[in-house]
Amino acid sequence: MTVRVGSVELGTGRPKVCVPLTSASLRELQAEAAAVTPAAADLVELRIDRLDGATDQRAVREAIDLVGVALDPSLPVLLTFRTAAEGGGAAIPAEAYRDLLIRSSASDVVDAVDVEAALPREVVDAIMEGVHAEGKPVVLSFHDLQGTPSRQEIVGRLVGQQALGADVVKLACTPQTPEDVLTLLAATADYTARPDARPAITMAMGGLGVVSRLAGETFGSCVTFGTVGAASAPGQVDALRLRDALDLLHTAVRAS
């Protein structure tokens, strides 16, 4: 199965490179968006939790509009508010999170929305319903900031996200050993081998997990995150170099 985010199709070909926009001020955000080119990225993630006034709907709408003007029009936008509980830049009540994402999804600039699966079920359901009503896909995500779940638990979480109605499932973990990275990769392969699997995004964070950001085509992760400027998560690498590596691996896979 594939899912279209703007002009980009997830779930086919090499993993797509997503560059997070993480600036706090509008001026910095404008410069950051303008610096991202199609040569480095396939899509961008607008991290509104990093903004000054992140919980203010008017400030967020202004930032979205600014990105729409500054960004190359060929690059789709994934809108994300990563809560403090999952390593993000701001805390926000669940109901305010719900309203902010639903209203923001109505913008023509936004092509997809990230929703945290750990939030109350009624909040997740309401956001997905609102985003889908705008005709846009939902990335349902989970972040383990302490460790790496078991192989079975990772697959179970991804299957559970799919059952909730996610268009794209996502899980990030924090490896403590090389074996943890292997667990994440094996679980990704298990999930994506299912005949009904949705496109999946998985990664092991930090330096130990960098290999997981490169191996998506082999194990099944359809998006990897790279930087043009500051990183938004531990282990992210330069987007241009990342894309070169992915293209090299893609050529080798196709030739085999």
Average pLDDT score, the chain: 94
Per the DSSP assignment, residues forming a β-bridge with 17 are: 224
- As a whole number of angstroms, the distance between CA 245 and CA 256 comes to 17
Confidence of residue 231 (pLDDT cuts 50, 70, 90): low
Predicted pLDDT at 112: 98
Does the annotation flag 50 for ligand binding?
no
> Which of 161, 152, 150 lies closest to 118 in space, CA to CA?
161
Q: Active site residue: 16, 132, 136, 143, which one?
A: 143
Helix segments in 45-177, DSSP class H: 57-70, 94-104, 121-133, 151-164
Predicted pLDDT at 256: 67
For 27-77, write each residue's pLDDT tens digit: 999 999 999 999 999 999 999 999 999 999 999 999 999 999 999 999 999
Is the CB of residue 136 less than 8 Å from the CB of residue 166? no
Q: Active site residue: 16, 132, 170, 250, which one?
A: 170
Which amino acid type is present at position 25? S
Does the annotation flag 14 for ligand binding?
no
Percent of all residues in the chain with a pLDDT value above 90, rounded to a whole number: 85
Does the annotation flag 30 for ligand binding?
no
For 79-95, write each residue's pLDDT tens digit: 999 999 999 999 999 99
- Which sign does the torsion angle of CA 23, 26, 32, 38 carry? positive
Does the annotation flag 46 for ligand binding?
yes
Check if 250 is active-site.
no
Does the annotation flag 107 for ligand binding?
no
Predicted pLDDT at 71: 97
Domains parsed from the chain with CATH numbers: 3-255 (3.20.20.70)
Check if 16 is active-site.
no
At 170, is the secondary structure helix, strand, or coil? strand
What letter does residue 83 receive in the DSSP assignment? Answer: B
